[in-house]
Structure formats: C-alpha cells, structure tokens
C-alpha cells in the first residue's frame, strides 16, 4: 500500500507531508462550547488531507463512505477551525488506499458544497447541545416517536428473488 501511495501524484506533491494529527481547538462564539478538529494531515499551503483505507474505489462506494462515515462533517470542521484560527485553507482531500489484492491509491477532493453541508451539521449539533444543556432535556434522535420501519426496496427485491429459486439450486 505504501509503495502504491508513494506513486500517486498528489502524494508526490506532498499532500501527506504536513503536520500529522495536529488538533485545532476553537470556542464557538454563539454557544460557548469548545470544538475540536483533528485532520490526519495539515499539509502545506492550506491543503488538508486524511488517509483512508477502502475495500472499493468505485465512485458510488466512495460517495457512500463520505456520507456514512461523516467525512464531509470532518472536512467542514477542519475548514471551520482553519478559518477561525486564521490558517490558510484551500481544500480537503481524502487519500484512499485500497485494502484489496490490487494496489490502488486515489486522492479525492471533497466538494466545497459538501463542506458547507458539514459545517451546517456542526452548527446544528452545537446549537442542539447548548439548548439541551440549558433546558436539561436530552431527547433522542426521534423522541417518543412510534414508527414502522420497512426493509429497503433493493434488499426486499433480493430476498424475494431468493425465495423464487428452488432449494436444490441454492445448495449447488
């Protein structure tokens, strides 16, 4: 993995050469809460990066990882902290290294609109925490909501298709 990553143009240009695991702390003016941001790498000239391992380099998989793992929130937090600490910020990159049998490295810049969304999520979270601290009420994600949840359509279709397959074919 390291040999493949060393051949990537962005890695060769130094995107992973900055200060490693440097924490940024800022106090939110609106709520008085402290906020911490910790990128894997604070690279030169405002290029921030995180090194990620991945089992797939497909665009749909990477997009899902950015959302599901909150990478867009992390990147938005780095941008926010850099702005408030008067540090240069140009962009945020994830450098993905494949964990599969075939070495592969891809440097992917996160979209600035996704960083905007990440900052909005952070703002909402800080405001929510402040409101809960002030009121003493800490509701869950959907407090006291009785609801039904259904298996996703794709999963349902796959199960329905499996049920149509004779048992002897499934055993083969």
pLDDT over 80 at 144, yes or no: no
pLDDT at position 169, please? 64
Burial state string for 14-48 with b = 16 or more CB within 10 A and e = fewer than 16:
ebbebeeeeebebebeebeeebebebbbbbeeebb
Residues 149 and 155: their CA atoms lie apart, in Å, by 13
How far is it, in rounded angstroms, from Cα 172 to Cα 166?
A: 10
Domain that holds residue 160: 2-171
- Of all residues in the chain, the percent with pLDDT exceeding 70 is 90
Q: Is 80 exceeded by the pLDDT of residue 170? A: no
Alpha-carbon gap, residue 76 to 86, rounded angstroms: 15
pLDDT given for residue 172 in this prediction: 56
Q: Rounded mean pLDDT of the chain?
A: 86
Q: How confident is the model at residue 142 (pLDDT cuts 50, 70, 90)?
A: low
Residue 148 has what pLDDT?
83
Question: DSSP H helical segments within the chain, as ranges?
Answer: 2-6, 9-12, 59-68, 71-84, 112-135, 153-164, 167-171
Q: What is the pLDDT of residues 117-135, one digit of tens each?
A: 999 999 999 999 999 999 9
Looking up residue 102, the CATH number of its domain turns out to be 3.90.320.10
The pLDDT of 88-95, averaged and rounded, is: 91
48 forms beta bridges with 42, 92
What are the tens digits of pLDDT across the range 40-72?
A: 877 678 889 888 888 888 889 999 999 999 999
Confidence of residue 9 (pLDDT cuts 50, 70, 90): low
Total number of domains constituting the chain: 1
């Amino acid at each position: 993995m390291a040999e493949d990553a060393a051949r990537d143009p962005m890695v060769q240009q130094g995107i992973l050469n900055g200060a490693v695991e440097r924490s940024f702390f800022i106090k939110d003016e609106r709520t008085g809460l402290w906020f911490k941001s910790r990128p894997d790498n604070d690279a030169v000239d405002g290029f921030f990066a995180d090194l990620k391992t991945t089992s797939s380099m497909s665009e749909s998989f990477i997009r899902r990882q950015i959302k599901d793992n909150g990478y867009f929130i992390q990147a938005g937090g780095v941008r926010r902290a850099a702005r408030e600490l008067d540090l240069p910020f140009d962009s945020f990159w994830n450098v993905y290294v494949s964990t599969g049998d075939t070495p592969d490295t891809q440097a992917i810049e996160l979209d600035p609109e996704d960083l905007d969304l990440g900052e909005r999520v952070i703002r909402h979270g800080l405001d929510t925490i402040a409101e809960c601290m002030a009121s003493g009420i800490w509701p869950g994600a959907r407090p006291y909501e009785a609801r039904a949840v259904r298996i996703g359509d794709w999963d349902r279709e796959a199960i329905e298709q499996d049920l149509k397959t004779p048992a002897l074919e499934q055993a083969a």
